[in-house]
C-alpha cells in the first residue's frame, strides 16, 4: 500500500513517519509513504502556490496548476494501475471518513491525498482532480495534514502484518457485517484504583469472572459501532 501526500508543510510529517508501527511497517515494506512539497511543482523563483480569490474574500486560495502537476506525476500512467489508485481531497463539505471507508481504501494500491491550507483550494481541484472528497468531521482544521495522517493510520492498521503479523485475527475481532467497527470499553490492572481516600474505581466484575460467553455479551452491550 502506498500513500502519497501533497502538502505545503512536508515537515509536519517528520515525526509521524518515523515512529512506532508506521515506521516499522515501512521498514518491512508493508506500506510506503511519500510526502511531496507542493512548492516543488510550482513555477518561478518564489515557488508561489496560492493567489487571491476571484470575487474577493479573506485569505488566499491554493492554485490549481501546481496541484494538477503533482497529481499527474504521482498518478500511475497505466489504466490497470490507475484503477487501484484514488485521489483524495479533504474538505468539510464532503462525506465523513469512517471505518467502512478505511476498509475500502485498504483494498487499493495507492492513495494520493491533497492537503489544503489557507482560505481554501481552487474548486476545480475538487471537481476535476479528486476521485473522492472526504471530511474528518463537523469542524474545520487549519489544513489537511492531520486528516491525511488519520487516513494513513486507519488504513495502515488494516494492512496484514502492520499491527502483528503473528495475529491476523486481530483485524477481524471487532468487524461488523457491514464492515464497520465495534469499539468496546476495556480495562486493565489494577482491579481497583483509588484516586483518593474513600474513592474506588473498579473493573466490572464480569470481566474478572473468566466466563468468556458472558464477557462477550457484556462487550456487545458496551460497544459502539463506528
Domains and CATH numbers, the chain: 2-156 (3.40.1280.10), 181-225 (1.10.1270)
145 within 8 A of 14, measured Cβ to Cβ: no
Dump pLDDT digits (tens) for 37-53: 999 999 888 899 999 99
Whole-number average pLDDT of the chain? 91
- Residue 169: which pLDDT band, with cuts at 50, 70 and 90? low
Rounded mean pLDDT of 20-27? 96
Identify the pLDDT of residue 172.
55
Residues 171 and 208: their CA atoms lie apart, in Å, by: 25
Residues 192 and 195: their CA atoms lie apart, in Å, by: 10
| Residues facing 134 on adjacent strands | 95
- Residue 127: which pLDDT band, with cuts at 50, 70 and 90? very high
Residues 178 and 225: their CA atoms lie apart, in Å, by: 10
Rounded mean pLDDT of 111-130? 95
Residues 130 and 134: their CA atoms lie apart, in Å, by: 10
Dump pLDDT digits (tens) for 65-88: 999 999 999 999 998 889 999 999
Identify the pLDDT of residue 175.
59
Rounded mean pLDDT of 207-214? 95
Whether the pLDDT of residue 208 is over 90: the answer is: yes
CB burial of residue 151 (10 Å; 0-12, 13-18, 19+): buried
Identify the pLDDT of residue 220.
86
Amino acid at each position: 500500500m502506498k500513500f502519497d501526500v501533497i502538502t505545503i508543510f512536508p515537515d509536519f510529517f517528520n515525526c509521524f513517519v518515523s515512529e512506532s508501527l508506521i515506521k516499522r511497517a515501512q521498514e518491512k515494506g508493508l506500506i510506503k509513504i511519500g510526502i511531496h512539497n507542493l512548492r516543488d511543482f510550482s513555477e518561478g523563483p518564489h515557488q508561489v502556490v496560492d493567489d487571491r480569490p476571484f470575487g474577493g474574500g479573506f485569505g488566499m486560495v491554493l492554485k490549481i496548476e501546481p496541484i494538477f502537476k503533482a497529481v499527474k506525476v504521482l498518478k500511475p500512467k497505466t489504466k490497470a494501475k490507475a484503477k487501484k489508485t484514488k485521489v483524495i481531497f479533504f474538505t468539510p463539505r464532503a462525506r465523513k471518513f469512517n471505518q467502512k471507508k478505511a476498509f475500502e481504501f485498504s483494498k487499493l494500491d495507492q492513495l494520493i491525498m491533497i492537503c489544503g491550507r489557507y482560505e481554501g483550494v481552487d474548486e476545480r481541484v475538487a471537481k476535476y482532480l479528486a476521485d473522492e472528497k472526504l471530511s474528518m468531521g463537523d469542524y474545520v482544521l487549519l489544513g489537511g495534514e492531520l486528516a491525511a495522517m488519520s487516513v494513513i493510520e486507519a488504513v495502515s492498521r488494516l494492512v496484514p502484518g502492520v499491527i502483528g503479523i503473528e495475529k491476523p485475527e486481530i483485524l477481524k475481532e471487532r468487524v461488523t457485517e457491514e464492515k464497520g467497527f465495534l469499539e468496546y470499553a476495556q480495562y486493565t490492572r489494577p482491579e481497583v484504583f483509588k484516586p483518593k481516600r474513600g474513592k474506588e474505581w473498579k473493573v466490572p466484575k464480569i470481566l474478572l469472572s473468566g466466563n468468556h460467553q458472558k464477557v462477550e455479551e457484556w462487550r456487545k452491550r458496551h460497544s459502539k459501532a463506528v
